[in-house]
Structure 1
Amino acid sequence: MPSSWTVLAVITVLTIYFCKNKRYRWFYIFAKTFRRDFRGFIVYVKTAITARLAKIRNETVVSVFESLVKKHPEKAAFLFEDETWTYAELNKFCNKIARYFRNEGYQKGDCIALMLENRPEYVGIWLGLSKIGVVTALINTNLTNDPLVHSVLAGKCKTIIFGSLYANVVKNVAKDLGFKSFYQFHESTTKEDFEVLPEFIDLRSKLSNISGDILSSRERVLADIQDPLLYIYTSGTTGLPKAAVVTSIRYMFAARGMTFVLRLKSNDVLYTPLPLYHSAGGMLGAGQAVLSGITVALRKKFSASNYWKDCAKYNCTVAQYIGEICRYILVAHNNVEPVKHPVRAILGNGLRPQLWKQFTEKFKIKEVYELYGATEGIANMINLDNQVGAVGFIPWHARWAYPVSLVKCNENTGEPLRDENGHCMECGINEPGLLIGKINQKKSIFAFQGYADQKATEKKILHNVFHDGDSYFNSGDVLVNDEYGYFYFRDRTGDTFRWKGENVSTAEVEAVISNLTQLSDTVVFGVEIPNSEGRAGMAAIVDAHNSLDLHLLSNSIKNNLPSYAVPMFIRVMNSVPLTGTFKLKKIELQADGYDINKVNDKIYFYDTKLKGYAELTKDIYEKIGNGTMNL
């Protein structure tokens, strides 16, 4: 037996060890976060096992969906307006799509663009195309002209399916796209409600003559779980939208993982007013119907006043949001009687800490699942225990299993800083840093498929991060995490900002304004607006010869950019500040913002009533600051 002196020595050494740097808090932190970590562990294991089994069995999104059709053909897959789409009905529509486009000559590996409003047929179209191995590029319905052409061609699409709402938008770029055939799918079945343009194929009428019976083995394509399923577009950190590759395994991992997170049961109903061309609505939302047998209620377009009405109408137990949605709902119900709804949990991203308690208390929401992630990213996480403001968590003792890190970076450029060995340096507790995730192509959870453009894919990868030869995904976002393992979003690096729930590429807006004005020196950046989520766009334009026509610029911008990308402020300057290497000082301009007390140049704001730019006066500036004027 050890002597008493040995025991005392061991106790002394352990005491010193745990007292140093307050290591004794490990026990406190472990006790405080045990329930959270255990639940996270269960979700992670279930998701990993599901993904692993799917890979072994080579299950695809299509095969899982068809198994649900056999299991409960008469169960509601989607609820939309006054319609109920059962699994059998949805599958018949999918079969019609698959059979028609196969007969049209489209085959495995081809890509077809889809530009349609939220509705059950949206899912039916891409799901049907996937039965014959065709990849669907989900196009943002806000796009027009050059950005639209770029997105369609970036996916190397061979044609486009679009709703009648966007027929004229597509007609304007038809020559630039150069397709032999264009497919117009009218949203209504009532003929007097629509007109199919003569140069386009009436897809709805064509499908009426196609059988929805089960596809024969000759008609379908044997797909692999690693095959591309969808292209979902993201602004990225530079340039125009990029087509992020979503494989079957990635779609399954995201959708099924959320099923486990939300603890969804067969009698749950999920409500999503989010656009189906984004991963939040298209994967996390609609994916519950496609892969988990959960009924999903859809809305064409978000409406603050109808949000809770829809949830009550469809008896929804879970609802999706983005930060802006929550603010709009609060404003819409500011002086309204308490609303009644069956929602127990909400899922989304961007719910500001200032609104968190106000929203949950006013509308009696028990659970908030705030998440962080990117369509193509591998550093995704979620908040499981209602920690106000947190976008997710990763326990310190589990970083080896889920290798996500924060590294020191240049606060202006977002570029990671390197030590004398050329390696990145990890941040400490409560120190802001660039979020990165380790790439491991052998594991589906950590595999980075990237974009349709290989050059764009390579730009998102960091090499030799902590060791020579390793690779990490660069999220482009600055986060901070505390001693409990919670992560909090701080800012977005690079040349993008988020406004009205959408990512805006500054390079894209700068290019459009420069082309319209023929003025080369144009700088676009995001500025914070009091009581608003994200950052509004602001453009600093050099106009040394007073040739800028704001009225013409306003109309041209609206015709060439989505509404969310139109700059809310214009600063007209005689010259723009440059660095010693002749680079535009965007950070300096962003710091000035639209503060007329700091800026001598004329500043204009976009007046929604006038639908054009008007001079920013002190009175208007104060109204924007105190929240009495909405932009």
Structure 2
Amino acid sequence: TNRIKCSHQILAIVRLLSVPWVWSLLAVWGLCMTCRGSWRFLYIFICLHANLYMVALHPDKPALIYEATGEVWSFKELAERCHAVAHWALAQGWSEGDVVALYLESRPSLVALWLGLAMVGVEAALINHNLCRSSLLHCIGVSGARAIVFGTELTEAEVHDSLEPSMVLFSSGDQGDEDKMSGLSAQSLDALLARCPTDPPQYKLRKSFNDKLFYIYTSGTTGMPKAAIVVHSRYYRIAAFGFHSFGLRNDDVIYNCLPLYHSAGNIMGVGQCLLFGLTVVVRRKFSASRFWDDCVKYNCTVIQYIGEICRYLLAQPVRPSEAQHLVRVALGNGLRPSVWTEFVQRFRIRRVGEFYGATECNCSLINIDGKVGACGFNSRILPSFYPIRLVRVQDESTELLRDAQGLCIPCLPGENPGVLVGHINERDPLRRFDGYVDQDSTSHKISHNVLRMGDSAYISGDVMVMDEYGYMYFRDRSGDTFRWRGENVSTTEVEGVLSSLLGQTDVAVYGVSVPGVEGKAGMAAIANTVGQFDQDTFLQAVKKALPSYAHPVFLRLMPHVDTTGTFKIRKIRLQKEGYNPQYSSEQIYFLNSRAGCYEALSSKLYSDIIDGKVCL
């Protein structure tokens, strides 16, 4: 048995070393480590001049295509628009290190804006265009932005009166409502850029390879969004990681329906255009019904997914374009094991490029050989090759467990799930952790004395399990897993099962406290758009699919379940409201274990549960 396991490990390492990106990153790492005093050369060559190289190589090739208007930007036109932005930034008197907030829907001009600003050292804060009021003000405030560029379609965000008087506003897009625009005291950016030169600015950039490029905000599923720092080298590494890992080609056309304020859309997607010359089709907003039609229309060969997108596509009725597309690779993260095989078979996807990572993390993973359900692999024979670990945590508090020496306790293969951590080495460009604008948020993600005394590690907050061969499987966000009937319940797993039983509808699963009862009872919020719900049929299906401890004790039927802009389920509000019928006008059900059925939760029944008069 040990010999078989060892052979599997050797085979996995051979596969890993046969992937070109591994050698590319090793080469970059070696170059970085030997040229620590020459960061500027690396930065100028890789990050800024990559696009100029593409312009010289194929100036008329389509770089970005905007699905909403049919607009096509060649590499030459993209470069000219970036130059105009750089001239505009210099004319504003901004200097290296200044920040400009970009609050626009996905469009090619967003790419030209952040890249043009970067040419003169100005940093962009890429803000989620779905935010408004307090959340939007928070994101603008933490970035320290001196100016805001907003899309005219987003003028209803209701924050103008709360901004600092010194804040300069620029609008981009249709200026139709002149009264509203004048009331906001916003200048038309499009008019200003039309008057700017399109030749490269005569400016000597002082930034280096590991200086700030822009800021991307966390999704805010566990609190207010945090501004993660993206340095130039990280942008290059993430984009190169995607290109080389999954067999992308220079003649590929990528269908990018992901938000460009997110790293998956802006770096993993648009980065293929800027660094490797691929054509990227930008869609303003994801549409499940138009997805495959668009892929056929633009001859796309690569698609991107994230979060629940694959499940949304499976929930659509079968259409002819599913069999007419040229898509070869599906690239993304968050493909649930419960829909993986069905997604590949129904849509004839030859290769799934599943990976794990966060904008700021130093412990990314890739599934190099399409292992169903796995988000990545790490060698068990050469663990120091990539110093990441799964470490044990307290079930409820998610506090790191430590041994008698004060070090974290690694999880053994096949053991209970643990939290993924990545060893921090500030001198190694692949192992550093750049953190967030807010230093307290950065400190909160770092723990010390993790693998050995005196070290530091990035704490991902993601719970995973590793099998005996080194494949990693995502289980839950730290804090989402709860304990019931003496067993750990993974919300991600239960959500996947319930969603499949209900025709791929949105489901949010979370634990709720019941007075006098140990652990947390499972509760499921279900998007019920049809208005009909057969509790008995649902319960019978649940009993066949899930162990008894994972059965939802409470159900909440909702018109829709809140998700983030990157299609992650929001649970904070649901957890706070719990199962109290007074907090919601929506129907809540309770699983009566003695009667063996779900029954409507009335105020009287709720009181009996709180008083301990009802057996759970």
Fold conserved (TM > 0.5)?
Answer: yes
Matched residues in 1 for 2:244 and 2:511: separation? 44
Q: Is the 8 A contact 1:407 1:436 kept in 2?
A: yes
Select 1:110's aligned residue among 87, 90, 98: 98
User: What percent identity do the matched residue pairs reach?
Assistant: 37
Query: Does the alignment pair 1:92 with 2:92?
Result: no
Task: Give yes or no for contact 1:346–1:367 (8 Å, CA) kept in 2.
Answer: yes
Q: Contact 1:237–1:496 at 8 Å: present in 2 too?
A: no
1:235-384 to structure 2, matched below 5 A, reads: 235=219, 239-334=223-318, 338-384=322-368
5 Å matches for 1:422-437? 422-431=406-415, 432-437=417-422
SS at match of 2:135: helix
Provide the C-alpha distance between the structure 1 equivalents of 2:444 and 2:64, rounded to a whole number of angstroms: 38
Alpha-carbon displacement from aligned partner over 1:179-201 (angstroms, at most 9, x marks no partner): 43211111x5xx65987610211
> Structure 1: which 5+ residue stretches go unaligned?
1-21, 498-524, 541-575, 580-584, 625-631
Q: 1:383-441 CA deviation, whole Å, 9 max, x = no partner? A: 11111000011121232111010011111122110011111111111121110011111
Q: Distance in 1 between matches of 2:509 and 2:130?
A: 16
Given that 1:235 and 1:496 are in contact with CA atoms closer than 8 Å, whether structure 2 keeps it comes out as no
Output one character per residue of 1:185-229: Cα deviation in whole Å (capped at 9) or x when no partner: 11x5xx659876102111111111111122113xx5332111100
The answer (yes or no) to whether the contact 1:232–1:277 under 8 Å persists in 2 is yes
Task: Name the counterpart of 2:449.
Answer: 464
Q: Following the alignment from structure 2 to structure 1, what is the Cα–Cα distance between the partners of residues 121 and 199? A: 18
Q: For each residue in 1:136-156, what CA deviation from the matched residue of structure 2 results, as whole angstroms up to 9, or x when unmatched?
A: 011011111111101111111
Structure-2 change in CA distance of 1:617 and 1:408 (3 Å): closer
Task: Name the CA distance, whole Å, in 2 between partners of 1:330 and 1:390.
Answer: 20
Match for residue 25 of structure 2? 47
**Matching residue of 1:477:** 462
Which residue of the other structure, out of 63, 76, 80, is the alignment partner of 1:77?
63
2:117 aligns with 129
Most deviating of 231-240 and 425-434: 231-240
TM-score when normalising by structure 2: 0.78
Aligned 8 A contact 1:604 1:613 in 2: no
Pick one of 206, 215, 224 that aligns with 1:222. 206
Measure the CA separation in 1 of the matches of 2:60 and 2:179. Answer: 33
Contact 1:51–1:249 (CA<8 Å) still a contact in 2? no
Cα distance per residue 1:113-155 (max 9 Å; x no partner): 1111111111000000001111101101111111110111111
Determine whether 1:185 maps to 2:172: yes
Q: Which residue does the alignment assign to 1:614?
A: 585
Match of 2:17 in 1: 38
Q: 1:63 aligns with which of 49, 59, 62?
A: 49
What letter corresponds to residue 210 of structure 2 in structure 1?
Answer: Q
Q: CA deviation at 1:471?
A: 0.7
Once residues 201 and 108 of structure 1 are traced to their aligned partners in structure 2, the CA distance between those partners, rounded to angstroms, is 22
Confirm or deny: 8 A CA contact 2:419 2:462 kept in the other structure. yes
Alignment correspondent of 2:196: 210
Q: How high is the TM-score relative to the length of structure 1?
A: 0.76
Q: Deviations over 1:314-365 (max 9, x none)?
A: 1111110124111111111346675311111101111111211111111111
Identify if the C-alpha distance between structure 1 residues 271 and 348 changes in structure 2 by more than 3 Å, giving closer, same or farther. same
Q: 1:342 to 1:73 in 2, by over 3 A?
A: same
Matched-pair contact (CA < 8 Å) for 2:554–2:588: no
The answer (yes or no) to whether the contact 2:511–2:522 under 8 Å persists in 1 is: no
Structure-2 change in CA distance of 1:261 and 1:533 (3 Å): farther
What corresponds to 1:442 in structure 2? 427
SS at match of 1:157: coil
- Return the alpha-carbon distance in structure 1 between the equivalents of residues 327 and 7 of structure 2: 34
**Mapping of residues 163-182 of structure 1, within 5 Å:** 163-169=151-157, 171-182=158-169
Give the match for residue 508 of structure 2: 536
The whole-number CA distance in structure 2 between the counterparts of 1:143 and 1:414 is 29
Q: Cα distance 1:103–1:418, how it changes in 2: closer, same or farther (>3 A)?
A: same
Q: Deviation digits for residues 288-328 of structure 1, max 9, x if unmatched?
A: 11111111111000011111111111111111012411111
Q: 1:4-29, CA deviations, whole angstroms, 9 ceiling, x for partnerless residues?
A: xxxxxxxxxxxxxxxxxx53234431
Give the 3-state SS of the residue equivalent to 1:182 in structure 2.
Answer: strand
Q: Is the 8 A contact 1:323 1:533 kept in 2?
A: no
Which has the higher mean CA deviation after the structures are superposed, 335-344 or 67-76? 335-344
Counterparts of 2:431 and 2:443 in 1: how far apart (Å)? 16
Q: CA deviation at 1:30?
A: 3.6
**In the superposition, relative to structure 1, how do residues 130 and 338 fare at CA in structure 2: closer, same or farther (>3 Å)?**
closer
Alignment partners' CA distance in 1, 2:5 and 2:557:
52
Q: Is the 8 A contact 1:48 1:445 kept in 2?
A: no
- Equivalenced residue count is 526
Query: Do the aligned residues in 2 keep the contact of 1:461 with 1:474 (CA within 8 Å)?
Result: yes
Residue aligning to 1:503: none
Q: Distance in 2 between matches of 1:135 and 1:367?
A: 36
1:384–1:93 distance in 2 versus 1, CA, 3 Å: same
Q: Tell whether the 8 Å contact from 1:232 to 1:245 is kept in structure 2 after alignment.
A: yes
Q: For residue 4 of structure 2, what is the aligned residue in structure 1?
A: 25
